[in-house]
Chain A
């Protein structure tokens, strides 16, 4: 069960205000309309309203106990009416006792107004009980909303995790085979390649902890990757990077370009016996930063490789991160496959994702 509203500082202020208004109205009534003397009017109104505050607050517990969930409506109404009658009786009796023992001459007036006090008191207690139910309902509702939004952000996070870049094991084994070959024919180059491979691995293994990176850094790890593939495929792979200086400082989701470069190599170099050009360029536009990755391919080859997964993966990641669609577009002409990524500018400065 939750703590009663009085323990919450906001609710406490509203309770004090309500009881204050009640006390002041009662005082004005007693003093000006019924023309009692100042002291007794003050004492009666303070005691009456204070007692009301205490008793109505303690009704929080039975209200929670008789919840709307586990009981029928009729049951709830009858029980609460009974509680309201008992509360009103206790409140009236205790205030009568305190006030009349202090001011004995006031007893007649108090008895004379007791029906009137009882009716209004009962009404106010019923309102207090209804208010308790409203508060409980509201608390449950906000709790549900919070847990739901927590749940949703958990799902989004899990989804992002599942879309994370994963190193292709075949790339790794083939690169290691090249190194193995180079150790015999060109040990110096073997050393250089194993260092490039280690640097690339170090960068990709750290990706799970980093969400956004500078384009400059992403290009750096792509360069390591391309250097390794260049050793494997030699002149079959031609690379052209066009990243102007003003693009280097923009933030992009980590490892968002790497799968696209791997796709370009997979569908370009793996499938063609001719030389393949891969171009990567960047341009800053009004609302977006445009990053283009294109590759030439052999239009006569019938692909034997799976496709589409990498691209739809990138699309989903960008959608989750930037909360908008259409950030990835693909164009395919005679022998050029081009992927255009739009990175929204307003989010570029946010490091917190």
Chain B
């Protein structure tokens, strides 16, 4: 769906992004993580053709953004951290203006986008009287016309209240479910990325540190095991070669099937009350990746 090939950028002698190759499969939500100045905005800019890459190219549906911009961006929508509008015009006029740069969009499609973001009542008010949250919604509405297949979201929940964050999150998931939309999301809110994204790419000082399903990298596999009869459970645990990691959490050897372990615990009548893989937070993962890179340098 989207392919970044050997993409790099140098700004006045400073390497903002080292050669980056990344693939975003259709229908996936991929999180782009990194500290300020890591190269996230530069990457977004190059995907949208706003920043000229020093090397490499971006392909959307097989079309190069750098060489066939009109074809590549025909079904791409984007919103930025601080969306900008013509504040002296209404939200509705702004929508019509931005949509006109993509294609001829009929009224029904615009109205559907307005309904989707819940702005029906205020869409004809001037943008100057909109709150930050309303501007974010309007930004999402403009990104949805004409219907995109790839959505770039740069801090989409920035400045939103908790309800707004919840709504935005649900909306993104709905768009993926209902329209099969591919999403690249940059956010500082790691809990949000963890909740939404299938995969993450971690950038640090312009370098890609990690790309993929971060959950898959957890080794050894850690499980939380709580039983009514812990004495019996410990016998099984010892026999199977599990090692204690923390309170109630154990590392399961890679050759052992967790299902077989559960079966053994049940068979030993240990009274299993909890048996679940322990998922460390994305925050912990991000910090460990970031720190490992820092130590390596």
Indicate, yes or no, whether A interacts with B. no
Binding site for B on A (CB under 8 A): none
Binding site for A on B (CB under 8 A): none
